[in-house]
Every structure is written in C-alpha cells, then in structure tokens.
Amino acid sequence: MQANLDDVLATARVVSIPLRVRFRGIDTREAVLFRGPAGWTEFSPFVEYDDQESAAWLRAAIDFGWSDLPPLHRDRILVNATVPAVDAADVPSILSRFPGCRTAKVKVAERGQVLADDVARVAAVRRAIGPEGRLRVDANTNWNVDEAEHAIRALEPFDLEYVEQPCATVTELAEIRERVSSLDVAIAADESVRKAEDPLAVARAGAADLLVVKAQPLGGVHAALRIAGEAGLPIVVSSALDTSVGISMGAHLAAALPELDYDCGLATTALLGGDVTTAPLDPVDGGIGVRRVEVDVDLLEHFTASPERTAWWLDRLRRTHALLG
C-alpha cells in the first residue's frame, strides 16, 4: 500500500539517540519515526546515502506502517551480540549488554587499525563466549582479496562461523570463497545484497554461502522476503542500528522466513544510549520477541533532534517520497 506525503508527515518525528560506543564511524543515530494504520514505523538510512538509495528505506517504512504482515512462523528470534572495533580489553563489557546470546559478531578491518587488532579482539571474544559459542566476523568490504585471505587464515583458528562481506564485489567474493574453500569458514554477503542493483547476483554467481538481509534497505518485509526466497541460500536477518521500531520490522521479517538456521543481527538496541519506547526490543536470554512497538511520547520528546537536523531529515523524506512513484 502507498501512503501520500501528508500521511507520512502528519506524525513524523525525528530523533537523535547517542551510541554507547562509537560504531560504524558515528556517535549518534538519527531516525524518522511515523505512524501508519498498522503501527509505528521507521525511516533511517545513514546520512551519507543518496536519495535514490534512501528511497528503498522509505518504501520499507511505508510497507511496515501501511501493509498487512505476511504469515509468521515464530514469535521469538535468537540474536547475536555485536562487538564494535573496540580494544580487546573492552570486549567483556560490550558482551555484557547482550545477555544470553550464544553468538557474537565482531567488527574487523576497521579503518586505522591493523590485523593484529582484529586478532586480539576476536581472541578476546572467543575467550568470553567459550568454545561452544558461535563467532562470526564482519569486514564491511574493507579488504581486497589478498588481504581477506591473509586475515581469514589468521582468524580461522578461532573457529569462525562465517566471514561477512570480506570484499566489495561479487567477483572478489567468488574468488575469496574459492581461495579459502579448504577451510571450514563460510562466506556471507551483506553489502552485495542490500547495496546492489541486482540483490540476487551474488547468489547466482555462487559467490556466497549465505546472505545477510536487512528489511529497510531492501524495501521492506515483503520485498526482502521475496529476495530471500528467490536466492535459495540460508538467511541471516540483520539491522542497521535501528531503534526498537526498526528492529521490530527486522524481527517480523525473520519470523516470516520459513527456515531460519542462523542467529540474527537484531540486538543492536543494546548499542544505543536510549530508545523511543519503554518496552525496547533488547536481547533477553539470547533472543527478542516478535511484536509491534509502541513509542513513548516522553522519550520521543527527550530524544527529539535539533530543529536544524529535523528540517534536514524532513526535507530528505520529502525528496525520497517523490522518488517512490
């Protein structure tokens, strides 16, 4: 269902929430929240994304706020802890924010750091979660193929579940997957799905063992569900530092998948220094519930963005809405 611009603007609120620790190069997460007939929804493309890319995020927000949800197969989603590119000594305090999580995803290949930093951080996570814990790493496209092979071989002794987006292109992913085929390490694609003109190209090329899927950048729960079905690969549903409203969108996508063999990256509210609801979708016993989120008026007021940032986001919303057709 489509929503006209007046419908969206009528309840739109721009929030700015500090992060507990610097992540993805930012210290504050901004988002637009608005309410449709189905409930609250979120529009929160990162600020560097252009209008064309951001339009998919708005399409997702409208889909979640104005459309009926697909049938759900589960009411709780197991989630992973997310460890930013922190010093190894800070790992235990980060993991303490994800109670009961049996899986940890570790950011690696951070700009300004070296492989030794990654090895120390991954080693600290492995010590903290024990031999039975599941450990995955995410390079966010920041290695070339040679760097990726070197890094994966250095990190493989820590029993990696998978390496997420080690390189930027589908061709590079296919090559690194071939180079490390003798190791028991899967290759996952994220940016090659959500930032690609053809999100299925990586699956057709045999360049990944599984796909990381996010509801907002793929145009919403229904669109992401179609892509997951057509890809024919195992799926991990993840988020993009969303508020609990955006996390709810991802949780409903995960719940709608017929099969869900991997823990999902839907616990990132633990990295925020606040939220827009008194009942946030924080991880409890290693999982989150699948439910709509009702925002709290006082929290919306508390985290309201400055007038300048509010105007910037509402202008962006108007421009991207004009691209929806």
105 is catalytic: no
* 138 annotated among ligand-binding-site residues: yes
Q: Which CATH class is domain 76-289?
A: alpha beta
Q: Which CATH class is domain 5-69+297-322?
A: alpha beta
107 is catalytic: yes
| pLDDT (0 to 100) of residue 196 | 82
Strand partners of residue 36: 39
* 190 annotated among ligand-binding-site residues: yes
Catalytic one among 214, 222, 316, 321? 214
Three-class SS state of 138: strand
- In 3D space, the residue among 284, 286, 293 whose CA is nearest the CA of residue 244 turns out to be 293
| pLDDT (0 to 100) of residue 24 | 78
Residue position matching structure tokens 């190209």: 201
* 118 annotated among ligand-binding-site residues: no
Order the strands of the 13-23 sheet from edge to edge: 13-23, 26-36, 39-43
- Give the helix ranges, DSSP H, for the chain: 5-11, 51-66, 91-95, 115-129, 145-155, 170-179, 191-194, 201-204, 221-231, 244-256, 297-302, 307-322
Q: What is the pLDDT along the chain (325 residues), one digit of tens a residue?
A: 679 999 999 999 999 999 998 887 889 999 999 999 999 999 999 999 999 999 999 999 999 999 999 999 999 999 999 999 999 999 999 999 999 999 999 999 999 999 999 999 999 999 999 999 999 999 999 999 999 999 999 999 999 999 999 999 999 999 999 999 999 999 999 999 988 889 999 999 999 999 999 999 999 999 999 999 999 999 999 998 999 999 999 999 999 999 999 999 999 999 999 999 999 999 999 999 999 999 999 999 999 999 999 999 999 999 999 999 7
Residue position matching structure tokens 């709290």: 296
> Which amino acid, residue 56?
A
Q: Where are the domains of the chain?
A: 5-69+297-322, 76-289
Say what the pTM is.
Answer: 0.96
| pLDDT (0 to 100) of residue 1 | 62
- In 3D space, the residue among 254, 202, 279 whose CA is nearest the CA of residue 233 turns out to be 202
| pLDDT (0 to 100) of residue 87 | 97
| pLDDT (0 to 100) of residue 316 | 98
| pLDDT (0 to 100) of residue 46 | 95
For residues 281 and 251, is the Cβ–Cβ distance under 8 A? yes
Catalytic one among 13, 59, 107, 194? 107
| pLDDT (0 to 100) of residue 89 | 98
Identical fold at 5-69+297-322 and 76-289?
no
